[in-house]
Structure 1
Amino acid sequence: MGGRTPPTSGHRPGHPGRTAGGLVEVTAIIPARGGSKGIPRKNLVEVGGRSLVARAVAACLAASSIDRVVVSTDDDEIAAEAAVAGAQVVRRPGALATDDAGSEAALLHTLASLDPSGRADVRSDGPPDVPPDVPPDVPPDVPPDVVVFVQCTSPFIDPASLDRAVGRVVAGQADVVFSAVPTHEFLWRRSDHGVVGVNHELHRRERRQDRPTEFRETGAFYVMRREGFVGHRHRFFGRVDVEVVEHGTELEIDEPADLEAARRLAVARSAVLGLSHGHGRHLWSEGPIGPIDALVTDFDGVHTDNTVWVDEHGVESVRANRSDGLGLAELGRRGVEVLVLSTEANPVVRRRAEKLGVQCINGCDDKVGALERWLFDHGIEAGRTAYVGNDRNDAGCLELVGWPIVVSDAHPSVRPLARVVTEHPGGHGAVREVVDRVIEEIERRTDRTSRSTIGTEVLHG
């Protein structure tokens, strides 16, 4: 973790931003300070093979409604981890990273850093816990219309839930929407005379079906209209509503026991969703892959079935799937960079890449280093990159990117690293399967962009 710090642009490459048509700007802010009491360095601990901060960034990047993901931190290692995951980083001053500093202060500081008009409209007289002399840490940028406050301590955030919550705020149905689970629990509070009922009468026990549904806040995310948040300086204001999330995803990590429970749940969810059995399912639900700006694939075992023929002269040959090549050509026409990355020095790798019209790096011993350099040279964020692999030598690249994918017949050691396992095995349409799902996401986002001005009129009306 950490150590890899390719540059990030903050905005997703190619995103239209605020245009004459008035597109809504949605920014996710993830506060992630270095200090923590219950679990030291909590935001860097791993669940399901990924750090908590990387999981939070990945969830936001996978939400089609979110345009920009920003991590606010005072910690160098967290900053590096967030950048590798694909987030923009705002360095938080120490005064806003203490045990007593509230999350609202970190959000306001981040918004000030992103506000091109200066700090006046964010700071005003300034809340008491925001020092007035704290300068912005990044160049001015487009201020968001909607802020999505996401907490690393919730490792199972569903991007679809984020999209639904954002959609309701953009449509004007609520000023604030936060994650919650329904509950019919009987709550008690200690008093001088024992305990007293909080949400029920002591001498009257209602049946569950007769009790009104209540909602328990999970702490995973809060979607807010920016102007309202800035004016009230608190996450709850105006019309507040809940986004009901799936039971089992609401776990919040505060104590070591919570961390162990989350790790067990991550293993269980992977098995249920087919990540250990090659059922080709997304980490959260079935759906497209992306959005991405680059697709990188191994060669042997991905474009081929890992079989090699050797003739009497020692010349090796392999079999490739023609539909894979057609799919990659279509992806390139849609502006996605494609790279074949292989340790195999056989010239057949480069010749096949040339025939497909894609970039190729082969015969390299350090695949991770080669991928990092290639991403840097092309200005592409790791979090916006998909990598398709099949064996142990792909593990480092799978851990680096935002969309790690393995083929259905991949080695068992790399399956737990994947967000997606293809239905097809290597050499038999796995690459085309990935390409088709990436294109599905491109078309979905294009459709969303064409319709987004309608929501903007509601938001600013």
Structure 2
Amino acid sequence: MTTLAIIPARGGSKGIPRKNVLPVGGKPMIGWTIEAARAARSVNRVVVSTDDPEIAAIARRFGAEVVDRPAELAGDSASSEAALLHTLDVLRDGDGYEPDRLVFLQCTSPLTAAEDIDGTIAALERDKADTALAVVPFHYFLWKHDGGGDGVGINHDKRTRPLRQDREPQYLESGAVYVMKVAGFREAKHRFFGKTALYEMPSERRWEIDDPVDLEVAEVLLRARSKAEKQSLLPEKLDVLVFDFDGVFTDNGVIVLGEGQEAVVCSRGDGMGLELLRKAGWPMVVISKETHPVVSARCAKLKIECIQGIEDKLPTLRRWLDERGFALERTLYVGNDVNDLSCLTAVGCPVAVADAHPEALRASRIILESPGGRGALRELADLILSSESVRQASPPSSSS
């Protein structure tokens, strides 16, 4: 069974201009949906239908194909179904591609997860249905005016107030994921036809972006989810935290004074994070390629041991760990460039700052959202100190 995911994303948005590409949680809103679609195990191909060059460029950057949508299908009155059918026609006429199943995803639902997409597809197959959609539990009482000034219950009798557990389950359409068999969709030209299956997704992932305040709420939810995901990647037991200096403690830049002296920029927030880690008892060490008084001065102020002038860091790291009875597999190392690769690939928990070299990013289990010298170490400190699972495995020996 072949499955195509289509994400309609037109450029015109009156409520929130450029809504589909506005940053939320650290990336353009449409990027979240594309990433979820590409991560879904049941999806074979991801296409964005758009009339907007900016959306098209971002979609390609996040790994989606793009189908140009004609202007007559991009107006306020154009239906999503029309955009879906147009995309299907373009793919069929262009390269003979006709999928068995179609997944319709809304880019205005950035909290949609890959498991929600896979779950909705699975519900379609499980129930031998023609269409499926993602829903969330709905436990509220709905009302309307009866036309004569009286409030009337819609989904309840206002004369009774049954407890939630005693009520028949009801569901709210999430607006995030729809799945349909392509042959039936082409005939019905509507997202619902035949038998419809329901996939119950977590309520906290339902959030849709319609108003500016929705962006703020989604930002908070996405940041919280990202933090939880990073915390889940931390080992349960760690011995020690090891850092590169340039590009981790600093922004990887250098200020050259008139007399030839050099200065760097560090973050006070990072310093506070490292102080909190030290007070919590975490052993720490800096291993730096550079030999410079500024490295010694900064580490001395933060009361962190520093080893400088190291070209090949891994042998030095191994000796330092062995002397203290610490294990390489229970070591967290934070780096940013290719000279950190030997350590990143050897330790149990490799971490890269957000603006690290691509090779360092690929070698890391955790990629921080903050750049080096601008909050990365505070972010890491908050992750470790707020985690309920990670803990120090071995107390430092007297030689440390």
CA distance in 2, matches of 1:102, 1:215: 24
Instruction: Give the secondary-structure state (helix, strand or coil) at the position aligned to 1:317.
Output: coil
Equivalent position to 2:287, from 302, 307, 313: 307
Specify the alignment match of 2:25 in structure 1: 48
Q: Per-residue displacement from partner, 1:44-92 (whole Å, max 9, x unpaired)?
A: 1122111111111001011111111000000000000000000000000
Q: Is the 8 A contact 2:143 2:153 kept in 1?
A: yes
Q: Pairwise mapping of residues 36-435 of structure 1 onto structure 2 (< 5 A)?
A: 36-115=13-92, 118=93, 139-170=94-125, 173-194=128-149, 195-271=151-227, 273=228, 275=230, 278-280=231-233, 307-308=287-288, 316-320=310-314, 390-391=352-353, 393-394=355-356, 405-406=366-367, 413-414=375-376
Instruction: Give the secondary-structure state (helix, strand or coil) at the position aligned to 2:58.
Output: helix
CA drift of 1:184 comes to: 2.0
Q: Is the 8 A contact 1:406 1:415 kept in 2?
A: no
Q: Per-residue displacement from partner, 1:342-377 (whole Å, max 9, x unpaired)?
A: 766xxx789x79xx9xxxxxxxxxxxxxxxxxxxxx
Give the AA of the match of 2:186.
V
- Structure ID, larger Rg: 2
Q: Per-residue displacement from partner, 1:294-328 (whole Å, max 9, x unpaired)?
A: xxxxx998xxx9624689xx97422339xxxxxxx
Instruction: Give the secondary-structure state (helix, strand or coil) at the position aligned to 2:46.
Output: strand
Instruction: Give the secondary-structure state (helix, strand or coil) at the position aligned to 1:393.
Output: coil
Q: Matched residue pairs, number?
A: 293
Structure 1 residues 416 and 309: alpha-carbon distance in aligned structure 2, compared to 1, 3 A threshold: closer
Give the gaps of 5 or more residues in structure 2.
235-245, 249-284, 292-307, 316-334, 385-400
Specify the alignment match of 1:443 in structure 2: none
Q: Is the 8 A contact 2:131 2:192 kept in 1?
A: yes
Structure 1 residues 417 and 91: alpha-carbon distance in aligned structure 2, compared to 1, 3 A threshold: farther
TM-score normalized by the length of structure 1: 0.56
CA drift of 1:168 comes to: 3.1
State the structure with bigger RCO (CA 8 A, min sep 6), 1 or 2. 1
Give the AA of the match of 1:406.
I
Structure 1 residues 29 and 416: alpha-carbon distance in aligned structure 2, compared to 1, 3 A threshold: farther
TM-score normalized by the length of structure 2: 0.64
Q: Is the 8 A contact 1:390 1:409 kept in 2?
A: no
CA drift of 1:167 comes to: 2.3
- Greater displacement, 74-83 / 238-247: 238-247
Structure 1 residues 32 and 66: alpha-carbon distance in aligned structure 2, compared to 1, 3 A threshold: same
Structure 1 residues 179 and 146: alpha-carbon distance in aligned structure 2, compared to 1, 3 A threshold: same
CA distance in 2, matches of 1:200, 1:237: 28
CA drift of 1:274 comes to: 5.1
Give the AA of the match of 1:212.
E
Structure 1 residues 410 and 34: alpha-carbon distance in aligned structure 2, compared to 1, 3 A threshold: closer
CA distance in 2, matches of 1:416, 1:26: 42
Give the AA of the match of 2:16.
I
Structure 1 residues 176 and 205: alpha-carbon distance in aligned structure 2, compared to 1, 3 A threshold: same
CA distance in 1, matches of 2:217, 2:198: 25
Instruction: Give the secondary-structure state (helix, strand or coil) at the position aligned to 2:35.
Output: helix
Structure 1 residues 320 and 407: alpha-carbon distance in aligned structure 2, compared to 1, 3 A threshold: farther
Specify the alignment match of 1:449 in structure 2: none
Give the gaps of 5 or more residues in structure 1.
1-23, 119-138, 282-298, 322-340, 357-387, 423-461
- Is the aligned partner of 1:32 residue 2:26? no
Give the AA of the match of 1:84.
R
CA drift of 1:191 comes to: 3.7
Structure 1 residues 114 and 307: alpha-carbon distance in aligned structure 2, compared to 1, 3 A threshold: same
CA distance in 1, matches of 2:31, 2:311: 40
Q: Is the 8 A contact 2:20 2:108 kept in 1?
A: yes
Give the AA of the match of 1:280.
L
Instruction: Give the secondary-structure state (helix, strand or coil) at the position aligned to 2:99.
Output: coil
CA drift of 1:150 comes to: 0.2
